[in-house]
A and B are shown apart, each in its own frame.
Chain A
Amino acid sequence: MKITKRTFDAVIVGAGGAGLRAALQLSESGLKTAVLTKVFPTRSHTVAAQGGVAASLGNSEEDHWHWHMYDTVKGSDWLGDQDAIEFMCRKANEVVIELEHYGMPFDRTDAGKIYQRPFGGHMSNFGEKPVRRSCAAADRTGHAMLHALYQRNVRANTQFFVEWMALDLIRDAEGEVLGVTALEMETGEIVAFQSKATIFATGGAGRIYHSSTNAFINTGDGLGMAARAGIPLEDMEFWQFHPTGVAGAGVLITEGVRGEGGILRNSSGERFMERYAPNAKDLASRDVVSRAMVTEINEGRGCGPNKDFVLLDITHLDPKVIMQRLPGIREISIQFAGTDPIKEPIPVVPTCHYQMGGIPTNYSGQVVAPRGSSMSVAVPGFYAAGECACASVHGANRLGTNSLLDLLVFGKSAGETAVEDVKKSTKAHKDLPQEAIERTLERINRLDTQRDGAGVHESRLAMQRTMQNHCGVFRFADKLKEGVSKILDVQKDVQRTVIKDKSKVFNTARIEALELENLIEVAVATMISAEARKESRGAHVRDDAPDTAERPNGRDDQNWLKHTLWFKEGNRLDYKSVKLTPLTVPTIELKKRAY
C-alpha cells in the first residue's frame, strides 16, 4: 500500500523539554523541521517537574561545576559515563542562563538573581554538606520551563504536528535512519516522514509500573520504536522510585519540600533518615531515601491504619515560606491527600518516577549501537535526548534536578549535532524502504481486524502489577526470575489485543493499544536486564547481593561495572564498559557510596 510521504531536513519526535530545546537549534538554523507530538507541547510531562534545575551558579553560596560533577558520579553509583557527566555539569550555567533570557520566570534572590535551593545529593566541596544548586520557579519549575521553551519556539516559528503519534522508525538495510511513520490522531491517516536527521525526545515509560508519578502519555514510544528497529536499550534495570509520591494517588511531591526543610517521620514521629544517612539526612540521594522508607514500613513503623506509608512533615515551616516556595505542593496535597500541609503532614510512599536507562547515546546526542568490534558506533541519522536517552549521566541513580538539566543540555547538543550533520551532508534524501512502512501498516491492520483477544486495559494492568510486584524498590532473585516468565506471558497477550473502537477519527482506544506495544518492550527489557544483573548498585538492590565488607552496599565493580544492552531480537543481553575518563579532569575514583 502507498501512503503519503512528507519530506523534511529533520524530524523531532516529542515536544517536552528535550524536544523543544532541540527544536530551537533546528528552527533557528533555518533547516526545514517537523516536530511531531502526541499532545499539545505544553501538555508534555516536563510540565509536572517541580523542584528545580541544577546549575552551579553559586547565587547564594560558593559552588563549582566540578563539585556538581562529583555528586552526579557518586549519585550514579559510578555507572554514569564521566565524559558525559563533565559535559553536562560544565554546560549547566550556560543553558540555565539561556532559559532565563528566553523569559523563564525563575524565583529571585534579594539581589535579583535566580533563586537556588538545596536538593538531595547535591553537596559542596566534594560531598561535604548540602549546597543550594537547584534553580527554581516556586515548585512549578517544569511548568515554567516548558512554557518558556514553547514560547521561544513560537517566536522561532517552529512547525509542530500536534496530536500526531510516531509509530515506527524507518531504517534501511545499511542501518541508516531515514525518518518515522506517524498517525494523525484526528483523521487516522498514516504518513511517512522522511528526514536526514531524526531526533527522539519521547520521554520516559514510567507507566510500566502500577504506581507511578508519570502521566498517562509516558509510554516509552521512542524506546519501543528503537527496539523494534534493532537498536538496543541501555541500563533498563535502573528505575528511580521517588521517595515522596502521595500515598494512594501516586502524584509527585517534590524533593524541594525537603530542600526547604521538610522532614520524613515514621509512626513514632521519629526523623528516621538520621539513622540511614547521618550526614545528608532527608537530603540523601533518592534511592537511599526510598529504601529507608520501605525498610521502615516493612519493619512495622509505617503510618495509617495499614501502616503502609510514612509522613512528610512541613508543619514546622513558616506558612509564608510554604505559600511562596511550595504553593503547588499545598494544592496537590489538599487535592490528592486531603490534607493541608501547613497543618498536617503529607502521607507519602516511594513511587516509580524516572527511567535512568534508555536509547544509548554519546554526549553529542548521537544514538550509538554496537557495530563490528566496537560497542558504540553512531547510528547515521539518529539522535536522542532527555529521559528516552541514556547518555549516560544518571547511571544507576539520578539526582533530583539533573533531569531538567539533562534535557536542556542534551536537547541542545543533539540539535546542534543534527544541524551540523545535515548541513555538511550533500546527498539527497534516500528512498524509504517499503518494509519499514509495511510494518506500521500491519500493526494498524491487526488492530482493525482483530476480533477476539486480550483487552488493552487488562493486559496493561497485568504488566503494571507484574512490574510492581517483581521489580520494585527491593528486588529478589526468585521474584525476578518468576517476573521474567510472567512478563513474557503478558507480552503474548499484548500481541493479540482487541479494541472495539474501529473509528478513523481520534480513536483513543487504538492509540492506547499502540502505546501498550511500546510499554511492553520497556517492561520486558527492564525485567530481563534486572534479572541478569547479579549485584546491587544505585536503584537496583537485590537480596542476593547484600552489603558486605568485601562488597560495600552489595556493589560488585569487578564483574558489574558495565552498562547493560538489551536487544529485542531474542531478548539478548550484551554489556559495554563505563567511560571512567572525563573530558578534562581526573577520573572520580570508585569508592563506597554513603551520605
Chain B
Amino acid sequence: MTTRTMQFRIYRYDPDKDDKPYLQDISVEVDATDRKLLDAMVKLKAKDDTIAFRRSCREGVCGSDALNINGRNGLACLTDLKDLPEPVVLRPLPGLPIIRDLIVDMTQFFKQYHSIKPYLINNDPPPETERLQTPEEREELNGVYECILCACCSTACPSFWWNPDKYVGPAGLLQAYRFIADTRDQATSERLDNLEDPYRLFRCHSIMNCVDACPKGLNPMRAIGKIKDAMVRRAV
C-alpha cells in the first residue's frame, strides 16, 4: 500500500514536567485507509504515547475530539486528512484553561449549559401515554436537538472568550432554544427571564463564528435570533 509522510506541529504542555507550553514537530506515515485526522492522530500516539487528546466514537456523534486544526475549530474524526495543508497545526480549543496538551478544562462550558436548565419542564401529572406533538411541532426541534456539546462553537466566539462566566455562549443558547421550541415544555417565560440580562443572551454580536465552526452544520445564531424574537413578542 502506498504511504506518505505527513508533518504535524502539536501544542504540548504537561504541567507535571513542563515549565511552559511548546510546539512539537512530528511526522507520521499515513496510507489510503487513513481518511480522517483522527486516524493520523492515533498513529501519532502509537509513535509517541505522551501526546494526550480526547477521543471516543470516531464518527462525529460523541463530541470528544474537538480541536483547533490549522486555526479552525473542528472534530478530528470528521476532518479529511487529504485537504489539510502541512504542517498540520493542532492546538487545544481556544479560550478554555488547558489541562494538558490538547485537553482543555470544559467546566465553564458545561456550567453555562447547565445554567439554562437543560431539561423538559412540565408540571402537569404525566399522562398514561406519550404527550402528543404534531410532526410540524416536532420539526421545530430539528437543527437544535442534534447538538453534541463539543464546544467548537462557543470556543470560536469572541464574546465567550471575553465573558465565559457571564455569557451563556452559542452552545448553551442553542439548547435554551431547544426547550423554548418544545411544545411540551411549560417554562418558556421562566427561560426567557433567565436570559434577559445584558450578558447572558445579549453578548451575541452576530459575529457568526459559531455557525462557521459547528461540525454538525447547526446554526446557533438563528436560535439566538429566535430567542430574541420571543422576548420582543412578549414585551409588546
List A residues at the B interface (Cβ < 8 Å).
39-40, 42-45, 47-48, 97, 100-103, 105-114, 137, 140, 143-144, 147-148, 151-152, 154-155, 186, 215-217, 248-249, 251-252, 328, 331-332, 335-336, 455-457, 499-501, 503-509, 512
Contact = CB atoms under 8 A, between A and B. Distances in A.
Contact of A48 (B52, B59, B106, B122): B59
B146 A155 contact: no
Contacts of A506: 52, 99-101, 103
Contact of A42 (B45, B114, B129, B149): B149
Contact of A112 (B78, B101, B132): B132
A114 B62 CA distance: 25
Interface of B: 14-17, 33, 35, 45-46, 48-50, 52-64, 78, 99-101, 103, 106, 110, 114, 117-120, 122, 126, 128-135, 137-138, 141, 145-146, 148-149, 179, 182, 184-185
A456 to B, nearest CB: 7
Contacts of A109: 135
Quick one: which of A137, A155, A501 has the most chain B CB within 10 A?
A: A501
A37 B50 CA distance: 22
A100 B16 contact: no
B58 A215 contact: yes
Contacts of A456: 49
Nearest to A218: B56
Nearest to A248: B33
B114 A154 contact: yes
B35 A105 contact: no
A430 to B, nearest CB: 35
Contact of A507 (B52, B60, B138): B52
Contacts of A137: 145
A309 to B, nearest CB: 14
A419 B191 CA distance: 34
12 contacts: A42-B63, A43-B56, A45-B56, A47-B57, A101-B122, A105-B138, A113-B132, A143-B61, A155-B117, A186-B99, A215-B57, A507-B52
A42 B57 CA distance: 11
A503 B50 contact: yes
Contact of A114 (B35, B128, B130): B130
Given A42-B148, A503-B14, A112 B56 contact: no
Given A43-B62, A503-B14, A506-B52, A103 B184 contact: yes
Contact of A151 (B64, B78, B118, B138): B118
A90 to B, nearest CB: 16
A101 B99 contact: no
Contacts of A140: 61, 146
Given A106-B130, A143-B148, A151-B120, A500 B62 contact: no
A100 B46 CA distance: 43
B107 to A, nearest CB: 9
A347 to B, nearest CB: 13
A457 B46 contact: yes
Contacts of B110: 40
B126 A101 contact: yes
A105 B141 contact: yes
Contacts of B128: 97
Given A42-B63, A105-B141, A144-B145, A505 B56 contact: no
B143 to A, nearest CB: 10
A97 B130 contact: yes
Nearest to A153: B119
Nearest to A114: B130
Contact of B49 (A103, A147, A500): A500
B205 to A, nearest CB: 28
Contacts of B118: 151, 154
A219 to B, nearest CB: 11
B117 to A, nearest CB: 8
Given A42-B63, A509-B45, 12 more contacts: A47-B61, A108-B138, A111-B132, A113-B130, A143-B61, A216-B57, A216-B58, A328-B61, A503-B14, A504-B16, A505-B100, A509-B49
A40 B175 CA distance: 17
Contact of B62 (A105, A155, A215, A248): A215
